[in-house]
Structure 1
């Protein structure tokens, strides 16, 4: 069986993630049928998409956008994690809109705003083009004609570093990742926060073991609720709320509309090292 929690697995939190899984695994073994094998450790590395689609996925976490684009057909939704984020309801998160030190924040046009003069098109850093927080939220949050080019950084942390180094002008950073960057990434100290995206359902917890999804959900809720408080604080994690698949499906057509707003019919962006 596979257990993978990849969305916030920063090196500085490796021990905390291991401790969280040790606790959750113990609760799952108590609650689930004996024929379900609970992994001793979290799975590290490997193809994430293959793991998300595997019938051997006991528990995983994915991004809301790929879930809405089709992953929901191959997995069972367990719920939305509850993170300690200001301005978001239980089971919601948003993105922090950040700009490089040299960018004049007054010239950045958020969606719906009007500037007296057109601003210079911005260079964006995106963690991945299938990311709700780093790509879709960026397109949705910024006004048409405000973006000039895109580079794929590979991670929110790398996007922060690119802005600090002057390699890009703007990015939207998942709010949990931004909190971690403020804690662990010195480059974050140099950036300007210029706004926030609208909250959306948080990154879904999923399972490929569809026949036991209800039992897994209840056990996972119990496990998170009984985590050590210091682990909750380190991971900004408070709980898990139930969700309907339909809560996420709007994310796919919203991306299509946001791409059209910026004149994009398909995504073609250079990758960065």
Structure 2
């Protein structure tokens, strides 16, 4: 059994923040760092925005007891695998989801690919980020369940991964190493803004079901009043002209406080796929 993290000493409290999941380009990374630094400054609790580039395992980051506000994928959050508490979820300007704080994964192929429908990609090469990811793996697996014939547990010839980041999925398709892959819808928008030449080489062939956004979490041991203070700071950003340029750079409307119950659908979708014998994409 994993030992419980030690309570955070309020006197020595020094939180860390990190937005690696959506630091998909240098420009996006710089904007996220500036935004999180502003939140920590306003919180007056001490802390720093740390660099934690891929391929360093996010699982190690999520186990730390000094988490102040760090992005976490919704699937491991829904499974309760780490000692964290929810803070806020971002609200993208263009998420393709169903309501604030939701998104979809976009299924992409090369711009010059002959494929026009998802079914035409079956039997070819799939790229994915990580089996523990919702947007880069589980969302597509759930989306493919209706296409599985009785007794059939594979739709693709090969699966390339784990590629860790959505950008590497795009690059695999552009290079011809893979034929199709899922990309987090918000990451897709950031890549399209800051890497237009790269993204012009791919196109969207389908999208997965709407799901709650990855969220910023804190350590479960962070005192509730500190967590509430952080949440209120995030919520206030939407109406603060001093950070409007950062929200614009990140293609964000603002943030909401997520309901943990909403994330249970991600665990249910993953479990449903496994129950139907589709635990692996290929």
TM-score greater than 0.5 by the shorter chain: yes
Structure 2 SS opposite 1:252: helix
Is the Cα–Cα contact under 8 Å of residues 125 and 168 in structure 1 kept in the other structure? yes
Equivalence for 2:105: 95
Which residue of the partner structure matches residue 8 of structure 2? none
Query: Aligned residue for 2:37?
Result: 22
Q: CA–CA distance in 2 between the matches of 1:203 and 1:51?
A: 15
Judged with a 3 Å threshold, the aligned counterparts in structure 2 of structure 1 residues 19 and 126 are, in CA distance, closer, same or farther, namely: same
Q: CA deviation at 1:80?
A: 1.8
Counterpart CA distance in 1 for 2:142 and 2:239 is 34
Number of the residue aligned with 1:60: 70
| Residue pair 1:79, 1:240 contacting (<8 A) in 2 also | yes
Indicate whether 1:245 and 2:260 are aligned.
Answer: yes
Q: Which residue of 1 aligns with 2:200?
A: 189
Output the CA distance in 2 between the equivalents of 1:106 and 1:47: 35
**Residues 21, 146 of structure 1: alpha-carbon distance in 2 compared, 3 angstrom cutoff:** same
Cα 1:137–1:149 change in 2 (3 A) is same
TM-score, normalised via structure 1 length: 0.82
Contact 2:93–2:251 (CA under 8 A) maintained in structure 1: yes
Instruction: Give runs of aligned pairs for residues 125-164 of structure 1, distance below 5 A.
Output: 125-142=127-144, 143-144=147-148, 145-152=154-161, 153-164=163-174
2:6 is aligned to: none
In 1: Cα distance, 2:37 partner to 2:121 partner: 51
Residues 1:43 and 2:53 aligned together: no
Structure 2 match to 1:236:
251
Asked if the contact 2:118–2:206 (Cα under 8 Å) also holds between the matched residues in 1, the reply is no
1:168 aligns with 2:175: no
Offset at residue 206 of structure 1 (A): 0.8
159-168 or 143-152: which moved more? 143-152
- Contact residue 135 and residue 184 of structure 2 kept, 8 A: yes
How many residues are paired up?
Answer: 250
Is 2:66 aligned against 1:79?
Answer: no
> 2:111 touches 2:200 (CA, 8 Å); kept in 1?
no
- CA displacement 1:167-206 (0-9 Å, x = unmatched): 1011111111111222233332121211211111111111
Alpha-carbon distance between aligned partners in 1 of 2:115 and 2:57, rounded to the nearest angstrom:
38
Structure 2 residues not aligned, in runs of 5+: 1-14, 149-153
Q: Is the 8 A contact 1:28 1:220 kept in 2?
A: no
TM-score between both structures, scaled by the size of structure 2: 0.80
Quote how far apart the aligned CAs of 1:128 are: 1.2
Change (3 A) 1:17 1:104: same
Q: Which has the larger displacement, 20-29 or 197-206?
A: 20-29
Which consecutive aligned stretches of 4+ in structure 1 deviate over 4 angstroms post-superposition? none
- Show CA shifts across 1:18-77 (max 9, x none): 321232122211xxxxxxx321x3111265323322221111110101111223x61111
Q: Cα gap change, 1:243/1:183 in structure 2, threshold over 3 Å: closer, same or farther?
A: closer
1:214 is the counterpart of 2:222: no
* Rounded Cα–Cα distance in structure 2 between residues aligned with 1:201 and 1:195: 18
Two-structure CA RMSD over aligned residues (Å): 2.3
The aligned counterpart of 1:203 is: 214
Assess, with a 3 A threshold, how the Cα gap between structure 1 residues 189 and 93 changes in structure 2: closer, same or farther: same
What SS does structure 1 have at the residue aligned with 2:200? helix
Which sections of structure 1, spanning at least 5 residues, go unmatched? 30-36, 110-117
